[in-house]
Amino acid sequence: MSIDYVEITGVYSKVQEFYRRLSLNSIIYRFLHPIADPLYVYKYLWSRGCMTFLIYYENKDVGLLDITPCGEGVEVAIVIADAYQGKGLGKAVALDFAPRLWKMGFKYAFAYIMPENYKALSIAKKLGAEVRCRDICIAIYRLGKEGEICQRA
């Protein structure tokens, strides 16, 4: 699977164009609740060091990946366009991008996931993340040597 990334941090038009193509459910799963204006959220995220990447698959923009540093770790959020969901792209992006996170100096990655987002939780568990749930789930991925995702013990 050939996946490419283009950093679009600060490019509001690209973010706006992408979110216009998403269903309300996809927006809720990305932000953990409905939001009226994704650009408002991105303005805040980018001011906090978040980086945003447009995900390309077969020369089509199919998703966004956001990373926000947090000490030795990094919060990761992946959203795949509705038309491309269910094709293994979310899992492929997580595996493909992990070595880049390691090279950036992060020791672990984490993601917040709604308990109703069974697809994302399934991916997290298959990749060996430690998943803890209450009102919101958190999936913690330990990055090993060269950035591979380490399996839980």
Residue range 101-135, pLDDT digits in tens: 999 999 999 999 999 999 899 999 988 899 999 99
Measured distance CA(50)–CA(60) in Å, rounded:
23
Q: Which fold has domain 3-142?
A: Aminopeptidase (3.40.630)
* Mean model confidence pLDDT for the chain: 91
Task: Report the distance separating Cα 80 and Cα 87, nearest Å.
Answer: 10
Q: What pLDDT is recorded for position 4?
A: 96
In the prediction, which pLDDT does 150 show? 56
Q: How many CA atoms lie within 13 A of 74 on its CB side?
A: 26
How much is the pTM? 0.90
Tell me what pLDDT residue 89 has: 94
CA distance 50 to 85: 24
